Structure 1
Amino acid sequence: MTQSTSTPLGTVTRDGAAVVLTYDRHLAHAPQKVWRALTESEHLHDWFPADIVGERAKGAQVTLPFWPEADEQPEDTPTLTGEILEWDPPRTFAFMWDSEKIHFELTPSNEGTRLVTRVHVVDPAERGWPSNAAGYHMCLDALAASLDGQRIAIFEQVGIPELEATYTARG
């Protein structure tokens, strides 16, 4: 996948030792449909590298097993633990997975839904936080495509180096 010029880049800020990535997307779908795509296992596979297994409620402990195709060594696919931090359907959903906090805020708009996604990165990926930024960017592109009835192969590495370089320049 290559980066679309119509896809807005996220912003990069700092919060102490953490890098905060913020993505503001406008989706042509009702908040309820976007909510289901963000929270239901049957839709997560289209855009997120892991499932979320467990009760959907504030304070619930969950596991996040990676889809086999998300890992270069599928025989050793990791499972992370996490916690649901916020659960207010269909407005806010936040969870911790490993050392990252990801927060989704949905607001109805004339066009459908404004989705603001914030990710607090404390322990960046091996190639640094620009890798995290590019990964979430691509995931949100895949979410938008999925909602539109299309599929983006998020586990292919096409376009990632260019996107990482773009985020490096922003940070």
Structure 2
Amino acid sequence: MNSAAPETRTVVVEREFAHPPEKLWRALTQPHLIAEWLMANDFIPELEHRFKLKADWGIVDCQVLAIEPNRTLAYSWAALGLDSVVTWTLTPTRHGTHLRMEQTGFAADQTRAYQGARYGWPKFFDGLEQTLARLD
């Protein structure tokens, strides 16, 4: 069977945080906080807003695709030939928030980008944890 779309891979990172969804939402949507754990940016939490994430290795061009405060945030992530989508899902738990990050759209021949994301996102999550620990 031949499908029309080429097969793509997805990176998923999930972690439980001992913080309420509102606190995680702040860290995911306030530019100065995003800069602490992810990258320098000009993010605005508005649907269709175009923004850039800046790292020492280059720039990621992004656009907000979905936004539901304290629940869901999705944006396109285009860099170094990769066109992908990053989706954050926040689920309240008894002790805090379950955070799920899914990055979809890695083509079969984009092994380096895929492996980079598999390696990088858990480190970003560690940085997010440190940022959250400092927040009131």
Q: TM-score, normalised by structure 2?
A: 0.80
**What residue is the counterpart of 2:51 in the other structure?**
63
**TM alignment of 1:41-80, pairs within 5 A:** 41-53=31-43, 55-58=44-47, 60-66=48-54, 70-71=55-56, 78-80=58-60
- SS of the residue 1:107 aligns to: strand
Identity between Structure 1 and Structure 2 (%): 25
The letter for the 1-side match of 2:104 is H
> In the alignment, is the contact (CA less than 8 A) between 1:63 and 1:79 conserved in 2?
no
**TM alignment of 1:19-168, pairs within 5 A:** 19-53=9-43, 55-58=44-47, 60-66=48-54, 70-71=55-56, 78-98=58-78, 99-122=83-106, 127-149=112-134
The Cα shift of 1:93 comes to 0.3
Q: CA RMSD in A?
A: 2.4
- SS of the residue 2:112 aligns to: coil
Structure 1 range deviating more: 23-32 or 42-51: 42-51
Per-residue Cα deviation, 1:79-98 (whole angstroms, up to 9, x for no partner): 44322111000100000021
Per-residue Cα deviation, 1:18-42 (whole angstroms, up to 9, x for no partner): 2111111100111001000011101
Q: Which has the higher strand share?
A: 2
CA gap of 1:142–1:121, structure 2 versus 1, over 3 A, is: farther
CA gap of 1:63–1:128, structure 2 versus 1, over 3 A, is: closer
CA distance in 1, matches of 2:26, 2:12: 21
Unpaired segments ≥5 residues, structure 1: 1-14, 73-77, 151-171
Q: TM-score, normalised by structure 1?
A: 0.65
The letter for the 1-side match of 2:41 is D
Unpaired segments ≥5 residues, structure 2: none
CA distance in 1, matches of 2:99, 2:6: 25
